[in-house]
Amino acid sequence: MTDVDPAALLRIYDDQLRTDAETPGAQEVLEHGPLRLATFNGGRGFISYRDLGGADDAGVRRLVAEALEHYRSRPEVVDVEWKTRGHDDAPGLHDALVEHGFVPGEVESVMMGAAEGLAVDVPLPEGVTLRQVRSEEDVRAMSAAADEAFEEPVSVRRADDLVFRVSRDPLIEIWVAEADGLVVSSGRLEPVRGTEVAGVWGGSTLPAWRGQGIYRALTAVRARSALRLGYRYLHSDSTEYSRPILERSGLVRVTTTTPYEWTR
């Protein structure tokens, strides 16, 4: 495996992924100063940026207020995520977001590394098989299983959005691990057009099936697929459950990310 300096990986992340690459499938993306204000199917808003343009504390507060007003004026938008990164120069951002009703979520590790480090053979437990799915029925089953794995109510809106995105983007791959016809683990591969990077997203495993190598096997099959498609690097925002698995495979943490959520 080719070693890559974490600082070089962070530059790839900032330069290649904090662009249109963050908002595939968006119905609309508007630029407001340094911000990118995206609206997705199902009434979901998403705010990101390459940087905040050197804004000071007052400037950051103004950006937060103006971005939120953009979504408040659209009644079809029911929730908005502002995606922060730990290495950004963003004075006063946390306080400004909280004051405007955004609630911080779990801090996640931004992991990056060479895809070849994860493209390995991983044995599966007896009776567990992997397959790629695309049909609406299979995608909805995968989405419901992921909600269960994360101990969340089954979300029809989240499933609708995923079905919509898969129908529009032939590069998105949905992989599931099944046992006796039941989805026990799943994850997505989302190659980013015009870059060297493919994202591995949505990794989830039902509690009774954890610790048996299933998530690592799903990661490996997605890494092999990324390499076949010509993508050198993998990227993932990882919880503390998945981070150690990716680290053992050679990915490194280049920064952190925290979602701040506003709900109408």
Ordered structural domains, the chain, with CATH: 6-108 (3.40.630), 113-256 (3.40.630.30)
Which pLDDT does position 77 carry in this prediction? 97
Average pLDDT over residues 215-224: 94
Question: Is 38:28 a contact under the CB 8 Å cutoff?
Answer: yes
Average of per-residue pLDDT values in the chain: 93
Residue 117 vs residue 176, higher pLDDT:
176
Q: Tell me how far apart the alpha carbons of residues 108 and 62 are, in angstroms, rounded to a whole number.
A: 26
Query: Can you state the angle between helices 136-149 and 156-168, rounded to 10 degrees?
Result: 130
Residue 137 has φ and ψ, to the nearest 5°, of -60, -45
Q: What's the pTM?
A: 0.84
Residue-level pLDDT at 195: 94
pLDDT at 243: 87
Share of the chain above pLDDT 70, in %: 98
- Is the CB of residue 71 less than 8 Å from the CB of residue 263? no
**Residue at token pair 């790629």:** 132
Q: Please give the share of the chain, as a percent, with pLDDT higher than 90.
A: 83
Report pLDDT digits (tens) over 178-204: 999 999 999 999 999 999 999 999 889
46: three-class secondary structure by DSSP: strand
Is residue 222 packed enough to be buried (19+ CB in 10 Å), middle (13-18) or exposed (0-12)? buried
**From CA 174, how far away is CA 167, in angstroms rounded?**
12
| pLDDT at residue 1, as a whole number | 43
- What is the per-residue pLDDT across 95-107, written as a single tens digit (0 to 9) for each? 999 999 999 999 9
pLDDT of residue 8: 94
Using pLDDT thresholds of 50, 70 and 90, give the confidence band for residue 3.
low
Q: What is the pLDDT of residues 32-76, one digit of tens each?
A: 999 999 999 889 999 999 999 999 999 999 999 999 999 999 999
Residue 102: which residues within 8 A CB-CB, separation 6 or more?
64, 80, 82, 260, 261, 262
